[in-house]
């Protein structure tokens, strides 16, 4: 395990453990976060823990052309009572994501420090949010970080109504031109959309 210092740098991802953990410590400055994403690394830790940095192999990703949309979701997407916006309320989306109760998790990994760090990335033009509205009420959303014109790293999503986060996720993919959506680690939920594992080395090639 590598312990980071104040110097903005990371070890080579080949030094990651079998479960993908690469380093511990450092900070969540915009400079360090951008360097991390450019190298295929992301932070993931719980409140009260030191910052943990990960680069798993394999990497769970979604190729937009392989996106699967169920018949029921196609009906949801046609719902004229709902509207979708991009970058209309980033702070509202990330805050709502931090407040969602998730099965198998105690508390949230989206701490106040994380929220502030990603709001700064948003202000710099790297982080993006997708919002789903019913009238003027924010009922679902999705946010992440754009590394280049090819890769978007999804971070988290939330729903206050059934399928709202799915609507945000699908609408974003259909309206963007990214070659790959980084989903980081396997989930059955994202697999249902067509996400799959690829090798870390293959993933890193998209970041060049």
pTM above 0.95, yes or no: no
Q: Which residues contact 139 (CB under 8 A, 6 or more apart)?
A: 82, 132, 133, 159, 160, 161, 164
Instruction: List Cβ neighbours of 167 (8 Å cut-off, separation of 6 or more).
Output: 73, 76, 77, 82, 84, 132, 140
Contact (Cβ atoms closer than 8 angstroms) between residue 68 and residue 193: yes
Q: What are the boundaries of each domain within the chain?
A: 2-57, 60-206
pLDDT for 102: 55
pLDDT digit string (tens) for 11-36? Answer: 999 999 999 999 999 999 999 999 99
The answer to whether residue 38 scores a pLDDT higher than 60 is yes
Cβ 54 vs Cβ 21: under 8 Å: yes
Give the tens place of pLDDT for each residue, 114-172.
Answer: 999 999 999 999 999 999 999 999 999 999 999 999 999 999 999 999 999 999 999 99
Q: How confident is the model at residue 199 (pLDDT cuts 50, 70, 90)?
A: very high
CATH code matching the domain that covers 60-206, chosen among 3.40.309.10, 3.40.630.70, 3.30.930.10, 3.40.50.1450:
3.40.630.70
Q: Give the model confidence (pLDDT) of 45-99 as tens digits.
A: 988 889 999 999 999 999 999 999 999 999 999 999 999 999 999 999 999 999 9
- pLDDT score, position 101: 72
The pLDDT value given to residue 107: 45
The first and second tokens of residue 74, run together, are: 């196609």
What gap in Å lies between CA 23 and CA 95, rounded to an integer? 26
What CATH code is assigned to 2-57?
Answer: 3.30.70.3550
Report the 10 Å Cβ neighbour count for 150: 14
pLDDT given for residue 106 in this prediction: 47
């Amino acid at each position: 395990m590598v312990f980071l210092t104040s110097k903005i740098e990371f070890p080579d991802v080949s030094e990651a453990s079998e479960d993908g953990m690469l380093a511990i410590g450092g900070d969540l400055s915009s400079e360090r976060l951008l360097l991390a994403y450019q190298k295929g690394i992301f932070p993931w830790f719980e409140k009260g823990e030191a910052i943990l940095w990960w680069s798993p192999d394999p990497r769970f990703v979604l190729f937009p052309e392989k996106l699967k949309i169920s018949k029921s979701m196609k009906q949801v997407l046609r719902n004229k009572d709902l509207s979708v916006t991009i970058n209309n309320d980033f702070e509202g989306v990330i805050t709502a994501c931090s407040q969602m109760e998730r099965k198998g998790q105690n508390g949230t990994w989206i701490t106040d420090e994380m929220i502030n760090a990603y709001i700064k990335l948003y202000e710099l033009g790297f982080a993006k949010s997708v919002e789903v509205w019913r009238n003027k009420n924010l009922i679902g959303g999705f946010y992440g970080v754009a590394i280049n014109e090819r890769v978007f790293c999804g971070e988290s999503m939330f729903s206050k109504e059934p399928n709202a986060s799915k609507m945000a996720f699908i609408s974003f993919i259909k309206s963007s031109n990214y070659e790959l959506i980084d989903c980081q680690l396997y989930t059955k939920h994202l697999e249902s959309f067509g996400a799959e594992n690829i090798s870390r080395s293959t993933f890193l090639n998209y970041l060049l």
